Amino acid sequence: AQSVTQLGSHVSVSEGALVLLRCNYSSSVPPYLFWYVQYPNQGLQLLLKYTSAATLVKGINGFEAEFKKSETSFHLTKPSAHMSDAAEYFCAVQAGGSYIPTFGRGTSLIVHP
Amino acid sequence: KAGVTQTPRYLIKTRGQQVTLSCSPISGHRSVSWYQQTPGQGLQFLFEYFSETQRNKGNFPGRFSGRQFSNSRSEMNVSTLELGDSALYLCASTEGTGGNANEQFFGPGTRLTVL
C-alpha cells in the first residue's frame, strides 16, 4: 500500500522568500516520488521525480526536492519565490509495481508581492 | 510530439443526462488514465486502460465507464449524471511499461458542469 500526505492545503509566501512545500509518503517498498504543478485551468505538469539515482533532485523552474528515507519525506523547495510560482502543487508516490501513482491532496502556493 | 489532448474543454449538462469525454494520448503511449478533480476530494483515480484493456480501476460507481481504441485514444462515459459529478476530468498518458518511473503526461482537462 502507498499513501501521500501533504502538510498544509495553503502556503503563503512573499515574493523572493523561500518556498517549502511538505510531502510525507508511506510505502512498504522503495518508492518513486514525483512533484507535479497545476496552473489555473490546466492539467498537471511534472516538476521533478525521484528514481533512486540521487537523493537531491533538481527540477524545472528552480525547484528541487530531497528524498529522506529516514523521515519518509520528499519536501519541495525553491530559494526565491516568484509571482509566477503561484499554483497548486501535488506530491505523488508510485511503488510496488503499480502503474498508478497515488496523489496527495495538493498544496496551493500563494505568492504575495 | 504533440501533448495530450482532451475534448471538449467545457461541457454543461443537466441531471440525468449522459456524457462522453475524449482523450488522445501522446503518440506512442499505450496507457491512458482518467482522474476526477474536485475542490473537496482532490484528485481521484477513475480507471486506467492499457492496450484496449482496463488494467486498473478506482472506487467509482458503475455509472462511470471507459474504453480505449486500437490507436490508444480513450473515451470516458458518465451515465445518469448527478450534481456531484461536476468536476474537472483529467486524462493522463504514459508509456505504460517498464516500471514505476514513468511520469504521467496530463491533458488540460474537461470541465463538466451538471445543472
* Residue-level pLDDT at A31: 87
Residue B108: cis peptide before it, omega within 30 degrees of 0: no
pLDDT greater than 70 at residue B41: yes
Pairing type for strands B105-106 and B42-50 reads unpaired
CA distance B66 to B49: 8
* A85 backbone φψ class: left, alpha, beta (φ>0; ψ -120 to 50): alpha
Q: How close is the nearest chain A Cα to the Cα of B43, in Å? A: 7
Name the grid cell of A48.
521533478
Residue in B45, B56, B103 nearest the CB of A34: B103
Q: Nearest residue on chain A to B9, judged by CA atoms?
A: A41
* Residue-level pLDDT at A41: 84
pLDDT greater than 80 at residue A18: yes
pLDDT greater than 70 at residue A95: yes
| pLDDT tens track for A50-90 | 987 788 999 999 999 999 999 999 999 999 999 999 999 99
Sign of the alpha-carbon torsion through A40, A44, A45, A51: positive
| pLDDT tens track for B45-89 | 999 999 999 999 999 999 999 999 999 999 999 999 999 999 999
Give the count of alpha carbons within 13 A of B33, CB side only.
Answer: 28
Please report, for residues A56, A57, A65, A76, the alpha-carbon distance to residue A79 in angstroms, rounded to integers and kept in the order given.
14, 14, 12, 10
pLDDT greater than 80 at residue B1: no
Q: Nearest residue on chain B to A29, judged by CA atoms?
A: B100
pLDDT greater than 70 at residue B100: no
CB atoms closer than 10 angstroms to residue A95: 19
